[in-house]
Structure formats: C-alpha cells, structure tokens
Chains A and B, each alone.
Chain A
Amino acid sequence: MSPLEVGIAMFAAIALLLLARVPVGVAMLLAGGAGYAAISGLWPLLNTLKTLPFSRFSSYTLSVIPLFLLMGEFATKGGMNAALFRAARAWFGHWRGGLAVATIGGCAAFGAICGSSLATAATMSQVAGPEMRRAGYSPALATGTLAAGGTLGILIPPSVILVIYAIYTEQSIGNLFIAAVIPGLLATAGYMLVVNLYARLAPDAAPPSPRLPLATRFAESREVWPAASVFLLVVLGIYAGWFSPTEGAAVGAAAVGLLAVLVGGMRGRQFVESLLATAETTALMFLILLGAELFSAALALSRLPAFVSSWVVSLGLAPVTVLAIMLVLYLVLGCAMESLAMVLLTLPVFVPVMLALDFGLSHAQVLVWFGILVLVAVEVGMISPPFGLNLFVINALSKDVPITETWRGVLGFCASDVVRLVLLVAFPGLSLWLPGLS
C-alpha cells in the first residue's frame, strides 16, 4: 500500500471500529498505530509509544484542561448553579417565557466558569428544571431550553474544545477566548429570542412570573459578583498575558474552590465528588487526545492531508463553498459523534485546506475565525435531533418527558444556531474584531 492509501484506510478503519462500539480513543490508537507501523515500521511505533503517553499526560500546556475541569466541578458542587439561576430569574423572570429566559441567562453565566457543554446542561437542569415544571412550563420548552442553554458552556469562554483547538493550531488561547465572546453573546441573545417567540406562539407553554422590585433583584444577584470577578480575572488575565492559560486556570480553580468552601458550603464529601468527576472527564478526554496524537502523526506520515488540500484547491471552488461543505459535514457528523473526537479527527485534514484557500485573511485570522466556526458547528450537533448528546442527557434527567417532546422543544434553538453560523461565516469581523485581528 502506498502511504496515501494507508491514510485512507485509517479513516475506513476508524469508521468500522466506531461502529463496532470500540471507545473513540482506543479506535484512534488502533487505526493510528496500524497506520504508523504500516508506513514507518513496527519498531519505530513501539519506540514512540515508550514516551508518547506520559509526555502527553505531563504537558504543561495541556495541564490547562484538568484545571479548567476542576474549576467547573468546584462551581457545580459549590452550588453556583443555584445562585446564578436565582439572579437570572430575578432579572428576567417577568419577561415573556421568563423562567426559560432566566435558564438561558443562568447557563450563559455558568458557562463563563465552566468549559463543558454537558456539565452546564446537567448542572443547570438540577435547579432550573424543577422550577420550570412547577411553574407549569411545557416539558418540550423546558427540556429544549436546558439542552440548548448547555451549549453556552462550550461557546462562552473558558471552553475546553477551544483550548484544544488553540493548542492544536498553535494559536493563542487568549485570542480564541476573546474571539468567542461576541459569538457567545449572540448565541445567548438568539436563544432568548427563541424563547420569546415560543412563548408568543404558545402562551400556555410558558406562564409569566411576577415582576420583582429593583431592590430584590439586586439582593438576589449578590452571589453573582464573586463568580463574575473570577471569570473576568481568568479570561482577561489570559488574554492580556498577566499569566499563562495554565496559570489562569489554576488561579480560577483555586478561586472557585475557595468560593465553594466559603459561600457554597463545600465539605469533604463534595470535594471528593468533584475530584472524582474531574478524574473521569479528564481521563476520557486524555484518552481521546492520546489517540488523536498518534492518529494525526500517522496521518501526517501518509501525506493524505497535503494531498487533500491541494486537490481541493485544484477544484477551483469558491473558498466559501468549501468552508460551507466542511461546516455541513460537522453538522451531520455532530448528530452522532462526540465533539472532541470529531474535531480532532477532522482538523488534520481541514486546517491545511483552510490555510490553502484564499479568504483574503491572514493565517492567524483564518485559524481564529475557523476555530469559532468549528466550535459553533460542533455545538449545533450536540442539540440536533435525533442523536444530539445534550438532548439525551437532559431527557435522562427529566424522567417523565418523552424524547420526542425534547426534540420538538429544541428545534427553534437549532434554527437560531444555523442563522448564527451563517452570520459568523458572512461576517468574520464578529469573531476577529474583539481580539483586534480584523
């Protein structure tokens, strides 16, 4: 087999292994390892494996991931979800569809201290779910809102997917975080608009709550300030270069941990629970990262990425058409696949293609812009029926709601996601202006 054929066979092998229910990271290790051995030989592979796992695990740059995950777990176990939801409810509760709007607001705020979509969805559903059901909200709207709101966890920085994208493409994590701010706010506003329209069309689905006096609203928001300061300190600090991303994540985790102990009443049991939850998520991410490392190394040896990018350029399609095809592919794949694995499997091919196309932007601009687009496209996949992961998590947490109701409730949010994606493609400035790249 020629190296190029090996590269193609690796993708075929991954597809087969995934269908055979092999864990994603192991499938990547198997296909990547086989490809590596086929091109370079068995001994070079065995030699690489001597140092590859431990050097991946003990990378200062990648340490940012477990630290951000720890920060998110401290925020969850420290009851910050409840405080943030209460504050959002005080401000938005009397709006049309107020509790659902407050859920979106609470998710956005929680997303600012948590970098994972499922964790945000699951955490917020504990506080907002029962509240919406008690107030007589329709199960479709309640579960759809929670599933969509959860995606704000990865859209709004800090975001684990964005960190990994930044490391992979050698872009500044701070730049990508800042670039995600406007798209994240757009997402929040878009979701709130969807709730508003939903409540207009079906007033019974979202009964209004009473308006609160201003003094009560401020009183209810008291507990938000610590979380907000931590977010500003971490994200601005990383962007401004006060500290490295790893240092920022450590400072953030320590601050949120301290808040959880002092304000949220975190004690020994919750502390151990947050360690175990961090352990589980960190381990599953690093198995995928390890697999992706070997897979992309073998792929680079096969020269398939270079071949594909020169082939795409030779087609002479408009760059935007190629970009649109890649994003649609993400939307389709995202319906069935775990987001991190999907991103890591596709980047080795897609990034060279993006850099080879002429968008009239510099390399740094293209990479930051594409990172935001990938992030949004991936996040749509998490809530698109029928297979979106968030839908299943929220549905599993709301026992008596049939999954079809959740599918129905989330459609409007999916539509707003697609509109936003088109906007972000049409106006790169939305992503590039804030980090000063436009």
Chain B
Amino acid sequence: MGGPEAAGVGLLDRAARALAIAGGVLLVAAMAVTVASVGRAAFGRAILGDTELVELLVGVAIAWFMPWCQARRAHVRLEVFTARAPEPVRRALDRAAGLMVALVVALLAWRLIQGGLDAHERGRQTMFLELPLWWGYAAAAIGMVLWTMIALAQSVARLDPAPSTPRP
C-alpha cells in the first residue's frame, strides 16, 4: 500500500476506503432493518418488503466493498507454486494477471450498467415496496466503475514488490 506509487493511485485508494466505509454503513443499516423486522414479527406485526430493502442495501454494500478489496490486493491467489520462481517471471505473470483482472472487471462493470439501463427502461420494481430496481444498479455501478479504475491503475502501475498477505 502507498509507497512510491503514483499519486493518482493513492487518490483511488482513498476513494475505495471511503466507499467501503459507506458500504459498511449500508450493511449496518441492513442489519438494523432486519433486527427491527424480527422485533416486529415477534409482536405479530411483520412488515412486508423488509427483505427487499435488505437485498438492495446489501447488494449495493457488496459492490462498494469490491474496490477496497482490489486496492488492498486482497483477492485470493494461488502463490505457492510460483513463490520460488525468478523475479522477472513473477513480475511478467503478475502483469498479465493484472491485465486480465482489469479486463474482466471492466466487462462486469459494462454489463452491470447495461443491466441497470434495461431495468430503468422496463421500469422494473421490487415486489412489495415497488422500489425502482435501477436505483440499486446505479448505486452499485459506482463501485464497479471505481473497481475497474483501480484494477486498471494496478495493471499499469509499477509493481509493488511486497507480497500481499493471505486472508480467509
């Protein structure tokens, strides 16, 4: 993280961190909605549509988590077989892998935006609350675009020699 990389990458990382925290707040909101609906159900006054709200909140939250995970280079990779490979080989592989990640993420972002436009055009709504589905897509698109930008920046940036630590 940080280090001698271009200032632009640092800015993207900060944006990713902010978006991840915002996503975390959405997750906590989804938690609160769920707890409230359990509480109400216990008194026999279940509210319809709480699951729809949770789905939208969590869906956007997860899309907002993605850039942060990418910025931290935390996505799980298999490193044991190439850990002893010569440095130039590893660098070349990482460069190629970085480009593949950027392409796949860009494809996902493009299709998600297209999916959102479709949902808007057809006026797709959730069943009970009649929330327009494109809201969720539009919010999620912010995460997907930032994710793409970070993946692209990483694939062209000077490679960080420090190996990333594995996570669950």
Using CB atoms and an 8 Å cutoff, list the residues of chain A in contact with chain B.
17-26, 29-30, 33, 46, 49-51, 53-54, 57-60, 62-63, 66-67, 70, 116-119, 243, 246-247, 250-251, 253-254, 272, 275-276, 278-284, 286-288, 336-338, 341, 387, 389, 392-393, 396
Contact between B23 and A54, CB atoms less than 8 A apart: no
Tell me the complex Cα distance, A19–B70, Å. Answer: 20
Q: How far is the CB of A275 from chain B (nearest CB, A)?
A: 3
Residues of A within 8 A of B111 (CB): 46, 49-50, 53
Tell me the complex Cα distance, A315–B166, Å. Answer: 40
Is B82 positioned at the interface, with any CB of A under 8 Å from its CB?
yes
Contact between A22 and B101, CB atoms less than 8 A apart: yes
Residues of A within 8 A of B76 (CB): 23-25, 284, 288, 338, 341
B58-89 toward A: CB 8 Å interface, digit per residue (1/0)? Answer: 11111111101110101111111110000000
Contact between B35 and A24, CB atoms less than 8 A apart: no
Which one of A59, A62, A119, A279 contacts B65 once the chains associate, using CB atoms below 8 Å?
A279
Residues of B within 8 A of A54 (CB): 59, 63, 112, 115-116, 136-137, 140
Contact between A118 and B68, CB atoms less than 8 A apart: no
What secondary structure prevails in chain A residues at the interface with B? helix
Instruction: List residues of B (104-161) whose CB comes within 8 Å of A's CBs.
Output: 104-105, 107-108, 111-112, 114-116, 118, 136-137, 140, 144
Interface residues contributed by chain B, number (CB under 8 Å)? 67
Residues of A within 8 A of B74 (CB): 280, 283-284
CB-based nearest A residue for B16: A279
Which of A17, A58, A251, A282: most chain B CB closer than 10 A? A58
Tell me the complex Cα distance, A62–B59, Å. Answer: 10
Tell me the complex Cα distance, A62–B54, Å. Answer: 11
Is B90 positioned at the interface, with any CB of A under 8 Å from its CB?
yes
Which of B34, B60, B62, B108: most chain A CB closer than 10 A? B62
What are 17 A-B pairs at a CB distance below 8 A? A22-B97, A24-B77, A49-B108, A51-B115, A54-B63, A54-B136, A57-B58, A57-B60, A57-B63, A63-B30, A63-B55, A250-B31, A250-B38, A275-B27, A276-B17, A280-B65, A337-B78
Which one of A24, A29, A53, A63 contacts B58 once the chains associate, using CB atoms below 8 Å?
A63
A24/B75 contact (C-beta < 8 A), A246-B54, A251-B38 known: yes
Which one of B31, B137, B168 contacts A117 once the chains associate, using CB atoms below 8 Å?
B168
Contact between B68 and A276, CB atoms less than 8 A apart: yes
Contact between A280 and B34, CB atoms less than 8 A apart: no
Tell me the complex Cα distance, A295–B47, Å. Answer: 37
Residues of A within 8 A of B104 (CB): 26, 29-30, 33
CB-based nearest B residue for A237: B38
Which one of B32, B70, B81, B94 contacts A336 once the chains associate, using CB atoms below 8 Å?
B81
Is B6 positioned at the interface, with any CB of A under 8 Å from its CB?
no
Known: A21-B94, A282-B65. 4 other contacts (CB 8 A): A49-B112, A279-B64, A280-B68, A284-B167
Q: How far is the CB of A68 from chain B (nearest CB, A)?
A: 11
Which one of B31, B51, B75, B115 contacts A23 once the chains associate, using CB atoms below 8 Å?
B75
Q: How far is the CB of B71 from chain A (nearest CB, A)?
A: 10
Contact between A119 and B168, CB atoms less than 8 A apart: yes
Residues of A within 8 A of B168 (CB): 116-119, 281, 284, 389
Residues of B within 8 A of A20 (CB): 93, 96-97
Tell me the complex Cα distance, A67–B62, Å. Answer: 11
Q: How far is the CB of B107 from chain A (nearest CB, A)?
A: 7
Residues of A within 8 A of B77 (CB): 18, 21-24
Contact between B72 and A280, CB atoms less than 8 A apart: yes
Contact between B100 and A30, CB atoms less than 8 A apart: yes
Contact between A276 and B100, CB atoms less than 8 A apart: no
Tell me the complex Cα distance, A119–B20, Å. Answer: 19
Contact between B112 and A254, CB atoms less than 8 A apart: no
Which one of A24, A58, A283, A286 contacts B78 once the chains associate, using CB atoms below 8 Å?
A24
